[in-house]
Chain A
Amino acid sequence: GAGVSQTPSNKVTEKGKYVELRCDPISGHTALYWYRQSLGQGPEFLIYFQGTGAADDSGLPNDRFFAVRPEGSVSTLKIQRTERGDSAVYLCASSPRDGPNEQFFGPGTRLTVL
């Protein structure tokens, strides 16, 4: 079946602009995660949804970052007033509700803030 998809694959924006990044999880997966990966680093957790609600948003770096999952499937990560330090690859993962914590990742969105 289809894996996790993310759009756009690349996004270049200017400092101060607003961006939205989209994630389509694997069908039937109730858990959805967002991570951020900087060059030469492992992914770092941002936020986790179980269904429609954010179960853990402790990784969001500040209030410029926000994410939604209104129907419990597709999720959008929103970044306001982007800064150059926001440049990274934003990864989305999904996982079935039950069983071990197997998270399946999408290809990521490479965000560049000029």
Chain B
Amino acid sequence: QKEVEQDPGPLSVPEGAIVSLNCTYSNSAFQYFMWYRQYSRKGPELLMYTYSSGNKEDGRFTAQVDKSSKYISLFIRDSQPSDSATYLCAISRGSNYKLTFGKGTLLTVNP
């Protein structure tokens, strides 16, 4: 079993839709949870991180962690064509530790 599983999609939505992206992980030792956005032929860009169960909101983005279910989510409200990218979840056992990434979900927001 992989340490982190992410549906690769692709996911295609109309502009203005609410997008839900999800990952599951297998080991309760993971403490830090991150979402990265990656545009084509660019490096990953950190969107959000959290290290506790619950929700964290930043503008149109909400990250949600449920440690009891080992499930992490990213919600995008009022999606825009500029949100079209690959979204990667990443988990870590702690500070100064390697990240383990999901495969990434390719999102297209159609105008």
Which residue, A41, A48, A55, A101, has most C-beta atoms of chain B within 10 A? A101
14 chain-A/chain-B pairs, Cβ below 8 angstroms: A33-B98, A33-B99, A40-B8, A40-B103, A42-B6, A42-B88, A42-B103, A45-B100, A55-B96, A59-B98, A97-B96, A100-B49, A104-B46, A105-B43
User: How large, as a class, is the contact surface on chain B?
Assistant: 20 to 34
11 more CB-based (< 8 A) A-B contacts, given A41-B104, A48-B97: A31-B96, A33-B98, A35-B99, A40-B103, A40-B104, A42-B103, A48-B98, A100-B32, A100-B95, A105-B43, A107-B43
- Identify the B interface with A (CB < 8 A): 6, 8, 32, 34, 36, 41-46, 49, 51, 88, 90, 92, 94-104
Check A25 for interface membership: any CB of B closer than 8 A.
no
User: Which residues on B sit within 8 Å (CB–CB) of A105?
Assistant: 36, 43-46
CA separation between A108 and B36, bound complex, in Å?
15
Check if B104 sits within 8 Å of A101, measured CB to CB: no
User: Which residues on A sit within 8 Å (CB–CB) of B49?
Assistant: 100-102
CA separation between A76 and B85, bound complex, in Å?
29
Check A85 for interface membership: any CB of B closer than 8 A.
no
Check if A95 sits within 8 Å of B96, measured CB to CB: yes
Check A111 for interface membership: any CB of B closer than 8 A.
no
Check A79 for interface membership: any CB of B closer than 8 A.
no
User: How large, as a class, is the contact surface on chain A?
Assistant: 20 to 34
User: Which residues on B sit within 8 Å (CB–CB) of A104?
Assistant: 46
> Which 8 pairs of residues, A with B, have the shortest CB-CB distance?
A42-B101, A105-B43, A45-B98, A107-B43, A101-B92, A105-B44, A101-B32, A101-B95
CA separation between A104 and B47, bound complex, in Å?
10
User: Which residues on B sit within 8 Å (CB–CB) of A43?
Assistant: 44, 88, 99, 101
Check if B6 sits within 8 Å of A99, measured CB to CB: no
Contact string against B for A residues 32-53, beta-carbon threshold 8 Å, 1 for contact and 0 otherwise: 0101000011111100101000
- Within A87-114, the residues touching B (CB, 8 Å) are 91, 93, 95, 97-108, 110
